[in-house]
Structure 1
Amino acid sequence: MDFHVTLAGRGDLGTRIYRELRDAILDGRLRSGERLPPTRELAKRLSVSRNTVAVAYDRLTADGFLSGRVGSGTYVSAELPAGRTRHAPAGSALRPREVWRTLPPLEPAGADPEYDFRVGIPDARLFPIQTWRRLLSAELRGTGFAQYGDPAGHAGLRAAIARHVGVSRSVRADADDVLVTQGAQQALDLLCRVLLEPGDRVAMEEPGYRMARLLFRSHGAEIVGIPVDSEGLRVSALPARTRLVYVTPSHQFPLGTPMSLARRTALLGWAERAGALVIEDDYDSEFRFSDRPLEPLQSLDRAGCVAYVGSFSKTLLPVLRLGFLIAPRSLRGALLHARQLADWHGDHHAQAALARFLDEGLFARHIRKATREYAARHEHITTLLHEEFAELLTPVPSAAGLHLCALSEVDVEPVAARANRGGVGVQTLAGLCGEPAPSGLALGYGAVAPEKIAAGLAVLKRVFDEG
């Protein structure tokens, strides 16, 4: 292997080589079973005598770090010597900005629960993976490897997205208005970069999307929670000097209620008067089970104050990291600069494959199939909640998306904790949104297998009954 050894520092050359290799083993840069270069080769690379390297190897072997195999070479030992531990990283006086120290710690990724009712996870088994492989393979056989891409995204995909949202959601946009992103979260980040100054006020639905709240905080914004009711965000509660309003009007996160037309009109009027931007996150509106969806804010906007954010993470697969942003044209130039400075562009070939997936009608076919499946799961869970949890949980009416909410008059935090330990993956509203939030659970039905829904809810019911 090609391993770098620095000869800087104290001690003779053999001691320095010994120390470098020992530290690499302890730090994990050289792993158990890896083969080291022959002494002659490493000596030539370091411009030292072969005997100098051999002395270092002999010391490491005597200390138990290396083992020799006759006729094969020298290898890192399968087990470290007793009492040896990996080195901890050196301390540093460097500290991040204070806001990063106030954010909650990242949750480690664990194993998937047996009964997976977590929110926002689509059923990967519904995704036409063979078709996707065919489209992606065709793009990988083509050209475009040697150049940087357009920060706005693949031209064909931008045109396909504009056609798709124009037909399915009445969004008014052409290809030049679309900026392809690495999911909705990057779209929010780009808007913050070009619009917010530290201390600017951002209004959000309460309860609302926790990851958006944390992102706005990381940009130094002052977050103001605005209550929601059966018609959506209460526009009359928006404070003065608000620079940005983040809403999920098609399927309020997490409660699931849509914003009424009267509230949409009021919000647009308020934004025009206040000179504020409204971010419309249309995160899973494709999965609609009844009722015709209301017009998006973007299609009603005549003042250029709405940024429309969409994502394919829930309609296709989260791992693809594909989304899009349709912003007011006054922000387009700054957004393109921000995208180029952040990560320049996304995966050209995945974007090209998605363009074909959209243009060939494969996406629409997938959505129809997935919607039928999710509608059945939604109905099944709702029925069981009414039958088995009547005294414990009250489902919030919803007609779209990948999850539903159920409110409770009892503290559900310990219930959810015990359920998760018992193999039922559920999330509380407070866990999804932060405080304040009503007491209740959010039940996703994208990841749970249909045949496991009843058994999973039966386990949840036992946890409730056990107190």
Structure 2
Amino acid sequence: MDLHVTVSGQRDLAGQIYRQLRERIVEGRLAGGTRLPSTRELAQQLGVSRKTTLDVFERLLAEGYLIARRGSGTFVADTLERLPARSPGHPNAQIRAAQEGCRALSDGHDRRDRHDQRDGNAPPWWQTQPEALALPRPDPRLACDFAGGVTDKSRFPFDVWRRCITDALRVQARGTGAYRDPAGEEKLRLAVSRYLAFNRAVASNWDDVIVTQGAQQALALLARVLLRPGDIVAVEDPGYPPAREAFASCGANVVPVPVDDDGLIVDKLPKRARVIYVTPSHQFPLGMPLSLARRVALLEWAQTHGALVIEDDYDCEFRFEGRSLEPLKSLDNAGLVAYVGTFSKTMFPELRVGYMVPPAALKGALMRSRQTADCHGCVLTQTALADFMLNGHFARHLRRMHQTYAARRETLLKHLRGPLAAWLEPVMPNTAGLHLAARLAAGADETALLAAARAASVGLHALAPFHLETPLQQGFLFGYGAVEVEQIDAALTSLAAHLPRA
């Protein structure tokens, strides 16, 4: 068959062909079971090298969009046949309910805790929480601390950032002094929408983007408008504790769902779940991506059960092997996914800027909730960040940091697969992000490992706190965002030297 694919110019030919084929498959214009021309035929048809078409087919095969049958050819996989159809006029039950208003402000909370509040006390849930979230804070007293979720600020171009801030101050000085749009500055929303379209295949208009104070505020806003006390929220186990706490603070019943090598096990979702929180590009903290078959199954499940999926794409920018699957949001034709991102992992956490692209039906409720929370974010920071992105500085910073983090990851894996192999086993596939997870090897003594880490002045962080249910196997998270290659090499060499000999 002839494919209606075109190439323009000579730049990124494989990317152009890939995006067009993937779009036709996702939209159903290339139906499951359709036989594609050979890579040689397609190369001749398009006037490109066969290597270009081979690269495209290999990527689509690896991601599950195509299947190869020996002796028969290459065919479109039927995995996407079950994807929920686009139905913009009929948001699911959870979104319809959110359109009625910000329900976290409803009398449901008042009735539940009225007695405690008459006594001048906070509701019981808040009284039992720690004073601060368990966010990563490396111990400076250690020779090397593998805390996760930490970035390397020393490599950030603060000279460029300073100029962006100065320009933003000039813009702010000329302003009217009025309150701003709770969704964020238009220029930054435009920059984010362009970035998502080009880098993450998330098609969105600038007006679809909501800028937040980090990803945590995005999660908190979604929780406030979606959840009533007693609603079930399904989360990955192990998973991200601050997300669980955002949902629980609204009175939700947070239910753990196990993950395996393909990510979240969709068949284990509780049938009454109203919200599902997932990290499909790089499962936190184990690292595997959610397979294409599971992505389709999850979207199908969400439409069938009237649930909303919250996709946290927290460190998708750094991928070191192969190509990542496109976000779950890029497959969402039916308004089932709220996409959440952050600049904390690409720039630095103190920036406190994140964003979300929710289903259109949720935007009104989210804006009302945002206005009651903090009205809007810092205009100065948003204006500077928009210039930083639109002028190409953000993309250049990502390219530099990609090389830096790749070298650190490679050094860490060299030790885990070498001198430490009898003690720790990396969780694979784990080809992206700023951390690796490693399970305790069979027969290894966790107490001895931790004692050796203390003697070597190495900070190890267990995976157990990320679990809601008791883990079957012990393990550790190795964050390499804030440690140099030389630190990693010296620290793990010292750790191996302090371990008991077999």
Question: Residue 411 and residue 165 in structure 1: after superposition, are their counterparts in 2 closer, same or farther (change >3 A)?
Answer: farther
Letter of the 1:329 counterpart: A
Match of 2:453 in 1: 419
Mapped to 1, the partners of 2:161 and 2:231 lie a distance apart of: 42
Match of 2:416 in 1: 385
Match of 2:373 in 1: 342
Q: CA deviation at 1:210?
A: 1.2
Question: Residue 412 and residue 218 in structure 1: after superposition, are their counterparts in 2 closer, same or farther (change >3 A)?
Answer: farther
Q: Secondary structure at the match of 1:308?
A: strand
Match of 1:220 in 2: 251
State the TM-score, normalizing by the size of structure 1.
0.76
- Do 2:230 and 2:251's aligned partners in 1 also have CA atoms closer than 8 Å? yes
Q: CA deviation at 1:422?
A: 5.7
Determine whether 1:204 maps to 2:220: no
Determine whether 1:150 maps to 2:181: yes
- Would you identify which runs of 4 or more consecutive aligned residues in structure 1 move more than 6 Å? none
Task: Write out aligned runs for 1:118-267 (5 A).
Answer: 118-143=147-172, 144=175, 146-267=177-298
Of the two, which has the highest radius of gyration? 1
Match of 1:98 in 2: 124
Q: Secondary structure at the match of 2:365?
A: helix
Q: CA deviation at 1:146?
A: 1.9
Question: Residue 428 and residue 152 in structure 1: after superposition, are their counterparts in 2 closer, same or farther (change >3 A)?
Answer: same
Residues 382-413 of structure 1: CA distance to partner in whole angstroms, max 9, x if unpaired?
01111111111000121100000110145647
Which of 326, 341, 363 is residue 394 of structure 2 equivalent to?
363
Q: CA deviation at 1:424?
A: 2.0
Q: Secondary structure at the match of 2:171?
A: coil
What's the RMSD between the two structures over aligned residues? 2.2
Q: CA deviation at 1:286?
A: 0.2
Match of 1:450 in 2: 485
Match of 1:303 in 2: 334
* % identical equivalent positions: 49
Match of 2:308 in 1: 277
Question: Residue 453 and residue 399 in structure 1: after superposition, are their counterparts in 2 closer, same or farther (change >3 A)?
Answer: same
Q: CA deviation at 1:110?
A: 7.2
Which of 322, 328, 344 is residue 313 of structure 1 equivalent to?
344
Q: CA deviation at 1:435?
A: 4.3
Determine whether 1:428 maps to 2:454: no
Q: Secondary structure at the match of 1:173?
A: coil
Match of 1:440 in 2: 475
- Do 2:138 and 2:146's aligned partners in 1 also have CA atoms closer than 8 Å? no
- Do 1:206 and 1:436's aligned partners in 2 also have CA atoms closer than 8 Å? no
Question: Residue 394 and residue 200 in structure 1: after superposition, are their counterparts in 2 closer, same or farther (change >3 A)?
Answer: same
Letter of the 1:403 counterpart: H
Match of 1:328 in 2: 359
- Do 2:238 and 2:258's aligned partners in 1 also have CA atoms closer than 8 Å? yes
Q: CA deviation at 1:273?
A: 0.8
- Do 1:103 and 1:214's aligned partners in 2 also have CA atoms closer than 8 Å? no
Mapped to 1, the partners of 2:303 and 2:241 lie a distance apart of: 26
Mapped to 2, the partners of 1:198 and 1:251 lie a distance apart of: 30
Match of 1:465 in 2: 500
Structure 1 stretch 336-345 or stretch 406-415: which is displaced more? 406-415
State the TM-score, normalizing by the size of structure 2.
0.71
Match of 1:403 in 2: 435
Match of 1:19 in 2: none
Q: CA deviation at 1:159?
A: 0.6
Match of 1:376 in 2: 407
Task: Write out aligned runs for 1:51-90 (5 A).
Answer: none
Residues 179-202 of structure 1: CA distance to partner in whole angstroms, max 9, x if unpaired?
000111100000000000010000
Q: CA deviation at 1:142?
A: 2.5
Question: Residue 451 and residue 342 in structure 1: after superposition, are their counterparts in 2 closer, same or farther (change >3 A)?
Answer: same
Letter of the 1:404 counterpart: L
Q: CA deviation at 1:230?
A: 0.8
Q: Secondary structure at the match of 1:465?
A: coil
Mapped to 1, the partners of 2:281 and 2:326 lie a distance apart of: 9
Mapped to 2, the partners of 1:308 and 1:213 lie a distance apart of: 17
Q: Secondary structure at the match of 2:417?
A: helix
Q: CA deviation at 1:147?
A: 2.0
Mapped to 2, the partners of 1:382 and 1:403 lie a distance apart of: 11
- Do 2:463 and 2:477's aligned partners in 1 also have CA atoms closer than 8 Å? yes
Question: Residue 448 and residue 434 in structure 1: after superposition, are their counterparts in 2 closer, same or farther (change >3 A)?
Answer: farther
Residues 201-244 of structure 1: CA distance to partner in whole angstroms, max 9, x if unpaired?
00011111111112211111111111111111111111111000
Mapped to 2, the partners of 1:202 and 1:407 lie a distance apart of: 27
Q: CA deviation at 1:436?
A: 2.7
Residues 77-107 of structure 1: CA distance to partner in whole angstroms, max 9, x if unpaired?
xxxxxxxxxxxxxxx9643211123334546
Q: Secondary structure at the match of 2:234?
A: strand
For structure 2, the residue ranges without an aligned partner over 5 or more in a row are 1-117
Mapped to 1, the partners of 2:360 and 2:454 lie a distance apart of: 46
- Do 2:456 and 2:491's aligned partners in 1 also have CA atoms closer than 8 Å? no
Mapped to 1, the partners of 2:161 and 2:292 lie a distance apart of: 38
Q: Secondary structure at the match of 2:399?
A: helix
Mapped to 1, the partners of 2:480 and 2:138 lie a distance apart of: 19
- Do 1:208 and 1:253's aligned partners in 2 also have CA atoms closer than 8 Å? yes
Mapped to 1, the partners of 2:262 and 2:126 lie a distance apart of: 35
Question: Residue 335 and residue 129 in structure 1: after superposition, are their counterparts in 2 closer, same or farther (change >3 A)?
Answer: same
Mapped to 2, the partners of 1:422 and 1:432 lie a distance apart of: 25
Letter of the 1:131 counterpart: V
Mapped to 2, the partners of 1:208 and 1:149 lie a distance apart of: 35
Mapped to 1, the partners of 2:218 and 2:394 lie a distance apart of: 22
- Do 2:139 and 2:459's aligned partners in 1 also have CA atoms closer than 8 Å? no
Residues 101-155 of structure 1: CA distance to partner in whole angstroms, max 9, x if unpaired?
3334546967524312110101111211110011011111223372222100010
Question: Residue 425 and residue 176 in structure 1: after superposition, are their counterparts in 2 closer, same or farther (change >3 A)?
Answer: same
For structure 1, the residue ranges without an aligned partner over 5 or more in a row are 1-91
Mapped to 2, the partners of 1:104 and 1:463 lie a distance apart of: 35
Question: Residue 354 and residue 221 in structure 1: after superposition, are their counterparts in 2 closer, same or farther (change >3 A)?
Answer: same
Q: Secondary structure at the match of 1:245?
A: strand
Q: Secondary structure at the match of 2:257?
A: strand
